[in-house]
Amino acid sequence: MKKILVTGAGGFLGQRTAAYYASSYEVVPCTHQTLDITNEIAVHRLIAAEQPDFVLHCAAIADTGYAQAHPEVSEAVNLRGTVNLAKACATYDAKLVYMSSDQVYSGNTESFALPEEIPLSPNNIYGLHKLQAEKEAAACCPGAVALRLTWMYDLPSSPYKSSRNLLSNIDAASHTGTPLRGATHELRGITSVWEVISRFAACFALPGGVYNYGCENHLNTYETLCQAVQLFGADPATLVIADSEFCRNLSIDTTKLRSFGISFPNTIEGLRIALANKR
């Protein structure tokens, strides 16, 4: 069996990733208790001891609000931690696949789906540190693969670690009757976490570089939310309010990824597939 080392194995993405690949790979799950990715010496020691074939780096300070309020923590984890792993993977010849984010596009004002090569100027700390990590990781580990992930969700009934996501928000709203606000001037893809995880193995063969990774979406967030609520079995007329003030484009173009044979359903089709399991 090939060996995968998974960072962030106690988190929303990493916990599911470690469980998913446990039957097909030898998985080394690392939580922040077992590996401090901000400690370069500790990272090198662990990679040297485990000699993984692949490293799936899922650990992050993923709460953008927390990162904004605590930039020093975000820099240590999201930037320096990623670079520490990149250096170790380059030293010990492990293929690094790490999670970047569609938040690198947070400062873009274009109205179309955004390709990887478009000029970037993130307007939040999280996006800025993710972009810096991409650049520094590529410099020290050219074979590393950065995946720019969209917002992810899982079914509210999932036995794994929960997080605030599209379906958990809808589930909570359906129980409380409190409407959700959907931005009419926001574009973003939203992806099932299992669609994300199930394609990781295919990413091990990708050439080093940056890839948009997840569901494309031609609908605005208000339209997406209305359709998601309807698929969930609730009434969008009572659970969704249009918000015309918030404006943002995080919509990704996955042409580059598809050229390597890796594709995703669009956001609504992905929701339809995920919610078919709800019943």
Helices (H), 93-165: 125-140
Map tokens 């929303």 to a residue: 12
Helix (H) or strand (E) segment spanning residue 171? helix 166-176
**Cα angle value 166/172/177 (rounded, 5°):** 120
Annotated active-site residue 126? The verdict is yes
β-bridge pairing 26-30 and 54-57: unpaired
The end-to-end CA distance of the chain, in Å, is 35
The residues that bridge with 99 in the sheet, in sequence order, are: 147
- Burial class of residue 169 (count of CB atoms within 10 Å of its CB; 0-12, 13-18, 19+): middle
The Cβ of residue 220 has, within 10 Å, a number of other Cβ atoms equal to 19
* Type of residue found at 139: A
- Among the listed residues 25, 98, 126, 153, the single catalytic one is 126
Query: Of 204, 198, 207, 205, which is closest to residue 263 (Cα–Cα)?
Result: 198
β-bridge pairing 3-7 and 54-57: parallel
Q: Which residues are catalytic?
A: 126
